[in-house]
Structure 1
Amino acid sequence: MKYLFIALLLFVCGCTSWHNPGLDPAADEAAVFKKDRDECRERAKKQAHSEPLNDLRRLKSYDTLQDEYAREVRAYKRCMRNKGWIRK
């Protein structure tokens, strides 16, 4: 029973998406989201120095790669929040 509850909790908590309450109702939300998402992904990769074509990635340790990924995720979330998107 405990494992069923944990699985259900993870399933429910993992079902979040981005919403922009300040977006013009006439605007196509999917197109605006895609544009903002792509911009934020690029910005986050540049801020975290985690471009996939970086040759030094092979020389980095696992902990360094995880720290780099965490910085990239934080930068992405910060960028999306600055553009008005929130998680629901």
Structure 2
Amino acid sequence: MDLIPDFIPVIGYLDDLIIVPLLIRLSIKLIPAAVLIEARKNVKNNPQKLKKSNWIFATVIVIIWLALFYVAYRHFSYLWK
């Protein structure tokens, strides 16, 4: 749920910066204490390691976004002159 659409400058993202942390905090408070304690023990006893493939996919996605920004800049740069 988004109270203020993100396409509205500044305020659109500002509500996300306030609402999302509040909802995360509320969600954690709604988890029963026994479940939360057990989950924390599981994480502590069995830490997960990131696979190298995750970093490769992330790098590819970042490169694609940078390429798209570059193409958009080259295409629309005449508007800023």
Question: What is the TM-score with the length of structure 2 in the denominator?
Answer: 0.30
Which structure's residues are more often strand, by fraction?
1
Larger radius of gyration: 2
Structure 1 length normalisation: TM-score?
0.28
